[in-house]
Amino acid sequence: MRELVLGVPSERQEMFLRDTHRYIAFGGARGGGKSWAVRVKAVLLAFRYPGIKIMIVRRTYPELRANHINPLRTLLGDLAVYKDSTKEFTFPGGSLIMFRHCGNSSDIDKYQGTEVDVLFLDEATQLTEEEYDRFKACVRGVNPFPKRIYLTCNPGGVGHSFVKRLFVDRAFKENENPDDYQFIKSLVTDNKALMEADPDYIKQLEALPPKLKKAWLFGDWNIFDGQFFEEFKDVPEHYKDRRFTHVIEPFEVPSDWKIVRSFDFGFRKPFSCDWWAIDYDGRAYLILQLYGCTETPNDGLKWHPDRIFSEIHRMECEHRWLKGKCIDGVADPSIWDSSRGEAIIESADRHFVYFSKGDNKRLPGWMQCHYRLSFQEDGRPMVYFFNTCKAAVRTLPLLQFSDTNPEDLNTEQEDHFADSFRYFCMSRPITPKLSQKNVTVSDDPLELNLKKYGKYYY
């Protein structure tokens, strides 16, 4: 057998190859050398642990062939046997590298009985969180081999949210151990081999539109292509950024502020009930939210309407910001539909939760949302979100444009709060005063206190 020549890793690739966490994410920008790192790590594991089972997953087989199968056939030669009918490399010691595709969620059903020791999810942000969780279940066994999951990723895609939560924000759920997770950020400038072979590649990235440039060149997880509400700004990543934000700490809502309730119904998908406080200048604050979602994004609680409106009524009777208030409600007109039985609005009426029909015009509604989010001449937007309204803060910045209607939202995403937000905005339309991109920030945002209303949260 001939000698195996793997090449020299970059500093970041070497970190990836040496890392022993259970969950390891690598990447963050285009051209960071992710595919090479996956191939080499898989081969090293196959030789180091005879009999180990390794699986590499991508969306399509053509991607697997181009990025992994063909390069590995060249790299390994007669050191391993590739069988195209099974899409597997078999090594002399019995180790196995399998290649599997996941074009959609139903493809995962074929792998339910698959048991592997190490899983590589290449371009993991192309998978939904549900698909990711189902693939995780394949990593099991009682043998002494390491049990690990490697993810390569760039900002954007349907899985952007869960990858960012786990590896960038490190916002873990109760059953997730922070010590199991490691993120290794790699930029195109870390890939010396690519820089030498194709020095113009970085120029291509630098010439991209601003959002794509930030995501693909600098690995910015807060901005990605197609973002529908690009005005939305969460807490600044760095204190020194001095950026404005829409997300603020809660404060005690003045008793004479008007309260408006907006509602978007959901059963299999989440419902969103949102309470907005309106200050003396017409500025809106999302102060409370009842969002019907399981721990899985975009998965509804399947509550009957009576249960939903019973809970809304309870909150409005008990919460100090709501009780005793005359609350205007606005909702999707579809809840008045009685063509398939009792209209949902009848259940709301039984629980003394009253609504008027919302204006459901989509494009004018989205424009009103944009107007609210845009910063005005005083450097402040016309809407704020309390950071306790987590579903709103989580979902709004992740929504993307429709592929078929460039002015509309992609309705296949978790857009339930956005729809409720739209009904609210259409119930109190405003006239735009100044586009955000024309704002000149002359004052230090850290000194712009909302004296009566709270403060910017940095």
- What confidence tens digit (pLDDT) does each residue in 142-174 have? 999 999 999 998 887 778 888 989 998 898 988
Tokens (6 digits) for 217: 């060149």
Domains by residue range for the chain, with CATH: 11-216 (3.40.50.300), 247-447 (3.30.420.280)
**Beta bridge pairs of residue 285:** 277, 384
pLDDT bracket for residue 210 (50, 70, 90): low
Tokens (6 digits) for 104: 């959609």
pLDDT score recorded for residue 217:
77
**pLDDT above 90 for 100:** yes
Highest mean pLDDT: which range of 30-39, 110-119, 427-436: 110-119
Percent of the chain with pLDDT over 70: 86
**pLDDT above 60 for 1:** no
Q: Report yes or no on whether pTM surpasses 0.95.
A: no
pLDDT tens profile 22-73? 999 998 766 668 899 999 999 999 999 999 999 999 989 999 999 999 999 9
**pLDDT above 50 for 17:** yes
pLDDT score recorded for residue 449:
29
Average of per-residue pLDDT across 420-442: 71
Average of per-residue pLDDT across 329-335: 97
Residue labelled with tokens 């010439």: 207
Give the integer Cα–Cα distance in Å for 435 and 438: 5
Give the integer Cα–Cα distance in Å for 244 and 373: 11
Give the integer Cα–Cα distance in Å for 23 and 139: 11
pLDDT score recorded for residue 435:
43
Residue labelled with tokens 């857009």: 415
Residue labelled with tokens 């057998």: 1
pLDDT score recorded for residue 209:
59
Tokens (6 digits) for 418: 């956005």
Give the integer Cα–Cα distance in Å for 118 and 137: 11
Contact 353, 316 (CB under 8 A): yes
Helix (H) or strand (E) holding 138: none
CB count in 10 Å sphere of residue 253 = 20
pLDDT bracket for residue 215 (50, 70, 90): confident
Of 26-40, 91-105, 255-269, 287-301, least confident by mean pLDDT is 26-40
Give the integer Cα–Cα distance in Å for 290 and 385: 14
3 vs 17, higher pLDDT: 17
**Beta bridge pairs of residue 58:** 101
Sheet holding 118-121, edge to edge: 81-83, 88-90, 96-101, 53-58, 118-121, 148-153, 23-28, 181-186
Question: Which of 187, 2, 145 is closest to 80 using CA atoms?
Answer: 2
Average of per-residue pLDDT across 405-411: 78
Contact 331, 263 (CB under 8 A): yes
Contact 8, 196 (CB under 8 A): no
Of 4-8, 146-150, 332-336, 446-450, least confident by mean pLDDT is 446-450
pLDDT score recorded for residue 458:
20
Question: Which of 88, 96, 107 is closest to 54 using CA atoms?
Answer: 96
